[in-house]
Each structure stands twice: as structure tokens, then as C-alpha cells.
Amino acid sequence: MITLKNVILRRSAKVLLDGASVTINPGEKVGLVGRNGAGKSTLFALFNGTLHEDGGDFSSPKQWRLAQVAQNMPETDESATDFVVGGDTRLVELREALAATEAAHAADPDDHDIGMDLAHAYTDLADAGEHDAVPRAQALILGLGFKVHELDQPVNSFSGGWRMRLQLARALMCPSDLLLLDEPTNHLDLDALVWLEAWLQKYAGTMIVISHDREFLDAVTDVTLHIEHAKLTRYGGNYSAFETLRAQQMELQQSAFAKQQDKIAHLQKFIDRFKAKASKAKQAQSRVKALERMEKVAPLLAEADFSFEFKEPGNIPNPMLSISDASFGYLIEDEPPKTILRGVNRSVLAGQRIGILGANGQGKSTLVKTIAREMGALAGTVTEGKGLNIGYFAQQELDVLRPQDTPLEHMVRMARELGSSVKERTGEQDLRGYLGSFNFSGDMVKQAVGTMSGGEKARLVLAMMVWQRPNLLLLDEPTNHLDLATREALAVALNEFEGTLMLVSHDRALLRSVCDEFWLVGRGVVTDFDGDLDDYQRYLLDEAKRLREEAKLATREAAVALEKAAPSPQAAAQDRQQRSEQAKPLKRELAQIDERLAAAGTEKASLEARLANPLPTSEIAEAGKRLKTLNEEIGQLEERWLALSDRLEALTA
Ligand SMILES: Nc1ncnc2c1ncn2[C@@H]1O[C@H](COP(=O)(O)OP(=O)(O)OP(=O)(O)O)[C@@H](O)[C@H]1O
Ligand SMILES: [Mg+2]
């Protein structure tokens, strides 16, 4: 069990948690939600021990094995498979132990004790799952969207996003009691995301996951922790349930607040009127006390939402861009060029809103990067319209930020570099004001970017892009890291944007709301996709099936392990055990209530019998009073009984 009691958590001057108390029970699947910068990742640092509470008590079981996704970019030429196998820390330890014992044995082959140790080392390793470690790792890698031929490729041959997927696979490989996942879906596309959901649903330990993806949270969590205004609140349900409960609570709180305000006004009026009158001074005093004692209901603080807009682009060339007979791909030293897309003939017109679709690794980013001039075409031509001004947003863009510098310094540098080519005002005060409109408060414009949260960084990149007044927006997964309110703001701004938009995103809601035509990147070519997003989802499923078939043929073993990723009988037994533990106190209380209800029922019956006969008035009054109390008690007991048996039913279902 993880418990927080009155925990205070700070980051420099910022108080992120103030008096947070909450319990997480073993086996619970928890979604940790809240706005960008609310303190979710910081709370993870408390959970994994890299940060300590500044007040109150935090405790989590010492013996729990922790798995989490390393945040660094792996730089190793180990193969993808070996790298992921290495995530099984127990296996690695036992392998090392075996190697040491083998060495000792080689040095002294006749030592009986060492011989015994060696035998133990072998069985321990077998127990830890050495025999199927490789297929288990490969099942994870393939599930997350890698191709069969990539299993043995070195880690540092993959691009950043893909290396982060390997980090995720490595964390899933590690046997654990507590799994911490901080926005695990950011580097995934739709099919890998769906696979991850299925995997997590079978995970037997305690899981806490941070995410801004509603559908994902609903699929994998049953408890929600919400951070807001330095308070942590627990809701017993998934994200949708949380939203409903919270809306109800806000309504209740709003009306409680209004009622209390009335009462306060009333007391205050009394005090004001009578404090001068000696005869009433005492009553006035007691009301002053009452007012002081009253626990104040907080007014509803409206969420600090924000909105922004793209400025009207100066001029819009038409066509924006034309691509003819082009091949796109990569030049590798001493090797023939690696062509990803060929025969590309496209033009991009003013005002088009194109969603770029395509399964994993088919070349969406290659296309986008070539258009963004990050790389050249291998053949053919890409002709730009006069005055084309591209606003490019890519995942790696976050790495372009300088960790030591502040948002203001970033803006000042950009303004200087672009010089007179932009019409914006470039004074420091103007830039501050501009950052303010993107929700960077006075303090934050001076905070080092390296210490900002993921969503805050993404918002800064967005702000910098908007400032450049682009007429062609090239957005590659722009919603990663952004909280729901900011995504909404982006969708609104994109809808009002007058230039041309090209968008790659796994955010179905965003694609739906801003694109009106789709390109499909797949099997080496770029084509128009005739259909809507639902058609596309069907296409994806077919494509995934095709790839799975391929994978099955290539590595039977891995495919078998993939199927077998079902929960072990052990996990199921553990789950039953847990449920029956949780049911015990419920059953106990139910039994007590039954007893009390029976007793109350008997007393009620006898009272009613007495009341049916003529009685002295004083006794009638007393019996009547008692009957009223009894009825109230019975009502409360019955309500409690219903609630308890509902919970019990849910547990034993
Ligand atoms: N070293 C630091 N100095 C100053 N402020 C910091 C520091 N580290 C974090 N912060 C601030 O603390 C707040 C919480 O950061 P945290 O990364 O926990 O947010 P988060 O809830 O994970 O947000 P996101 O959804 O964007 O990932 C942010 O406003 C961040 O700027
Ligand atoms: Mg975070």
C-alpha cells in the first residue's frame, strides 16, 4: 500500500502539493491526471525515491520491485532484443552471479561447495525465465510496432521516438510490483497504443500511469488521482467516471458556496447591527466566533484556460509547394541510398487541410521532414511557392530548446535571428506580453526551460512557432505532452488558421476536427486516401493483421509468446486472493448491520404494538419519539447495507 499523509511537495518556490493525503491499494490501476505543470511528474519522483517530501509522511512498501521507463535516450550498439532483455533486472543479476560462479568453478573444479553453488545458479536462472527471455522480449518489441528484421539491429540505429519505445519495452520486461508510466503513449501510434492497452490490462501489479489521453486512461485504469491547486483527490473510477463525479461535485460545491455566502452575509449583518448595543454585545460576540470557526467552502476557481490564434499570414502563395517525380529517403555512407517513398507527384494548394495517415514507419516523418527542408529529396524536385513560410513542429523540436535558457531568452534570440523579416514587435516587454498570452506567467518567463514540465516546453515551442507567422503549418504529432484544455485550444486555433495545414497525429479527435482531406503514406508511395477516419481505422487493422502474419511466419516463437502474454494462473489466483481480502471487512460490517437491523426491527414492532393500545399521554409522546429515532436509524442502516452489498457484488463479480 502506498500512503501519503499531509504531504507537502515543493519545486524551488512552487508548492506543488500542500497537505495531500491519499492511499493506493495493492493491485490498483491508477490514472494520475491534472493540467500541464500541476506536478504529476514531480509526484512520480516522490514515488520512485528521487525526491523527498518537504512535509508530512510518504510511505511505500520496501520490498516492492519498481519498474519505470528510463527518461534518457539510450546510446548503445547492443541489439534491440538484448537491450530489452536487459530490462529484466533479476535475470541480469542471476546471469552475472552465474558467470562469477562459473569462473570460480573453472579456477577450482574440485571444490564441492562451488559445484553446489553452480547447480543453484543454473536453477535460479531457469526459474527466472531464462529459457524464454528472448521470445518474451521480442513479443514486446514487435507489439510496440517494430518489424521482425529490426529485432537484431543496434539500438542507436533507431530514431529518437523509436528508441524511447525500446525504453518502454525494457520497463515492461522488468518483473515488478509497481509500474510507473509517465505519458507512455507519446511516442506511439494508433496500433502500438492499442497493443499497449491490451498488455496493461493484463498486468497484475499496482500501476500508476500519467496520461492526457482520455480513451487510453479509460481502457487501463479504475482509480483516478487528480492534482489541482496543490490538492490531490482520489476518485474510484476511470477517467470518464472521474469527469462525471467531478462535475457533480463542482455543482454541489458551487451551491454549498453560495449557501455559505448567504449565511456569512447574515451573520455579518447581525454583528454589524448589534456590536454597538451593549445588551446584544454578547450575542454579537458569539456570532463573530461562529464566523471565525466556520470552515470556508472554497469558491470554484474556474480552470485557468487559455486560447490563442495564429496570426493572419502575410501572403499565401498558390500553389504552396509542388513535388514532381520525387523519391524521398536517406543517404547512408558507403551504402546505396535507402529509398522510403518513390514516384511522389503532389501539389499543396493554399488553404488545404491535409491529414497525413500511414501505419508505423511507413514514411510519414520522412515526407514531412523533406518538405520542412530537414533533408533533401533523393530524386525529382520539390518546388516552393514564392514567400512560403513553413512553421514546422516536430517531437524533436523539444530538444531544440536550450535547457539553461529561459522562455524569454528563447524569444529574444529568435526575434534577433529573424530580424526584419517579421513584422512583430521585438522589444523585451512585448515578448513578455506575448509569452503571457501563452500562459507563461511573470515568474515562468524567467525559469530555465530545462526545469519546465513536458507540456510547458511543448507550449513554448508552439508559441515560438505561432510568432513566426507561418503560412504553411507542418505539424508532426503536435499534441504530445499537451493537456486536454491546451489540445482544445490548438484545435480551435488550427480551425481558424487561414494558411495551409499538414498534420500527422495519432489524436483522432484532432484529425477529425481540423482536416478535410487525407493522404496515405504506405507501401512506398503517397496516395490520396478516399474515406474518413473510420475507414482508416479499418485499413489500419487490416494492415496490422498483414504485418502480424508476416511476423508469425518469421518468428514462430515470438508470435507464440505474444499470444501467451495472457495473465498467468498465478496472477489470477493473486487477484482472487486480493479480492477476497478486500471483501472480508465488507462482509463483517454487513453482518453487524444485519444484527442491528434485526434488533431495531424487533423493538419497532413492540413499540408499535404498545402504541396500538391505550396509553397515558406522557408514554405516548415518549414511545412516539423513540419510534421516530428508530425509523431514522433503520433508514440509515438500510442505505449503508445497500452501498456495502453493491461493493461486495462488484468485488465478487
Ligand atoms: N527545478 C525546478 N525549478 C522550478 N520549477 C520547477 C522545477 N522543476 C519543476 N518545476 C515546475 O514544477 C511544476 C510541476 O512540474 P511537473 O513536471 O511535475 O508537471 P506535470 O504535472 O508533470 O506537467 P506535464 O503534464 O506538462 O508533464 C511545473 O510548473 C514546473 O515548471
Ligand atoms: Mg509530466
Lowest mean pLDDT among 218-222, 327-331, 604-608: 604-608
Residue corresponding to grid cell 512506398: 524
Mean pLDDT confidence for 542-559: 66
Instruction: Please tell me the predicted confidence (pLDDT) of residue 178.
Output: 97
Average pLDDT over residues 623-652: 80
What letter does residue 278 receive in the DSSP assignment? G
Spacing, Cα 34 to ligand 1 middle (Å): 12
C-alpha cell at 86: 536487459
Q: What is the pLDDT of residue 302?
A: 44
Q: Give the integer Cα–Cα distance in Å for 256 and 299.
A: 9
Minimum-distance ligand to the CA of 16?
Answer: 1
pTM over 0.75: no
pLDDT digits (tens, 9 = 90+) for 482-505: 988 888 888 888 888 889 999 998
* Mode of pairing for the β-strands spanning 231-235 and 223-228: antiparallel
Distance CA 416, CA 176 (A): 51
pLDDT at 413: 92
Q: Best substitution site from 10, 445, 453 to test ligand 1's pocket, by max atoms within 8 Å of Cβ?
A: 453
> What is the pLDDT confidence band of residue 411, given thresholds at 50, 70 and 90?
very high
Q: Around Cβ 607, how many Cβ atoms within 10 Å? A: 16
Cα 581 to chain center, whole Å?
30
> Using 50, 70 and 90 to split pLDDT, how confident is the model at 569?
low
CA dist., res. 227 & res. 37, Å (int): 10
Q: Ligand 1 pocket check: which of 10, 14, 50 to mutate, most ligand atoms within 8 Å of Cβ? A: 14
Strands 353-357 and 2-11: unpaired
Is the model more confident about 224 or about 574? Answer: 224
**Does 634 score more than 70 pLDDT?**
yes
For the chain, the straight-line distance linking the first and the last C-alpha, in angstroms and rounded, comes to 23
The secondary element (H helix, E strand) that includes residue 19 is strand 14-24
Quick one: three-class SS letters along 390-457? EEEECCCHHHHCCCCCCHHHHHHHHHHHHHHHCCCCCCHHHHHHHHHHCCCCCCHHHCCHHHCCHHHH
> 653 pLDDT band (50/70/90 cuts)?
low
CATH of domain 2-242: 3.40.50.300
Ligand closest to 453 (CA) is 1
Identify the weakest region by mean pLDDT among 20-29, 134-143, 504-513: 504-513
The CA distance from 166 to 74, in Å, is 9
Residue 330 pLDDT: 87
Average pLDDT, the chain: 85
The domain locations on the chain are 2-242, 569-652
292-302 average pLDDT score: 59
Per-residue model confidence (pLDDT) at position 248: 81
The alpha carbon of 34 and the centre of ligand 2 are apart by a number of angstroms equal to 10
Q: Indicate the top mutation candidate among 42, 48, 439, 441 to test ligand 1's pocket, ranked by most ligand atoms within 8 A of CB.
A: 42
How far is ligand 2, taken at its centre, from the CA of residue 457, in Å?
Answer: 10
The average pLDDT across 130-155 equals 92
Q: Is the pLDDT of residue 366 over 60?
A: yes
Beta strands in 211-337 (DSSP E): 223-228, 231-235, 321-330
Q: Is-same-fold flag (2-242; 569-652)?
A: no
Alpha-carbon distances of 124 from 121, 130, 171, 199, 382, rounded to whole Å: 5, 9, 22, 26, 60
Give the environment of ion ligand 2: residues with CB less than 5 A: 40-41, 453-454
Q: How far is CA 419 from the centre of its chain?
A: 39
CB atoms within 10 A of CB 172: 26
Q: Over the stretch 384-398, which tens digit does the pLDDT of each residue have?
A: 999 999 999 986 666
- Cross-strand bridge partners of residue 232: 227
Flag whether pLDDT at 466 surpasses 80: yes
- Report the separation in Å between the CA atom of 452 and the middle of ligand 1, taken as the mean of its atom positions: 5
Cβ neighbours around 599 below 10 Å, total: 10
For residue 311, the model assigns a pLDDT of 85
% the chain with pLDDT above 90 = 43
631 or 571: which carries more pLDDT confidence?
631
Q: Give the pLDDT confidence score for residue 249 in this predicted structure.
A: 79
With a pLDDT cut of 70, the percent of the chain lying above it is 90
Could you tell me if 652 and 579 are in contact, meaning their C-beta atoms sit under 8 angstroms apart? Answer: yes
CA of 56 to the centre of ligand 1 (A): 21
Residues in contact with ligand 1 (CB, 6 Å cut-off): 11-12, 14, 16, 34, 36-42, 447, 451-456, 481, 483
**Which band of pLDDT confidence, cut at 50, 70 and 90, is reported for residue 442?**
confident
- Cell (9 digits) for 606: 413492540
Please tell me the number of the ligand nearest to residue 182's CA: 2
Q: How many CA atoms lie within 13 A of 305 on its CB side?
A: 10
Most confident of 189-198, 414-423, 644-653: 189-198
At 88, list the grid cell: 529484466
Bridge partners, residue 7, by sequence: 20
Ligand nearest to the CA of 452: 1
Q: What is the pLDDT of residue 619?
A: 78
> Are 396 and 320 in contact, with CB atoms under 8 Å apart?
no
| pLDDT band, very low/low/confident/very high, at 543 (cuts 50, 70, 90) | confident
Distance CA 87, CA 69 (A): 10
Cα 67–chain centre separation: 16
Locate cell 513553413: which residue?
A: 390
Q: For the segment 516-526, what is each residue's pLDDT rounded down to a tens digit?
A: 899 999 889 99
The stretch 215-234 carries a mean pLDDT of 93
Among 48-57, 74-83, 572-581, the range scoring the smallest mean pLDDT is 572-581
pLDDT at 301: 45
Banded pLDDT at 633 (limits 50, 70, 90) = confident
Instruction: Give the pLDDT confidence of 225-259 residue by residue, as tens digits.
Output: 999 989 999 999 999 889 888 878 777 777 777 77
How far apart, in whole angstroms, are the C-alpha atoms of residue 370 and residue 329? Answer: 9
CA distance 230 to 55: 13
CATH code matching the domain that covers 569-652, chosen among 3.40.720, 1.10.10, 2.60.40, 1.10.287: 1.10.287
Mean pLDDT within 532-544: 77
Confidence tier at 551 by pLDDT (50, 70, 90): low
Give, in degrees to the nearest 5, the angle at Cα 494 between 493 and 495.
Answer: 90
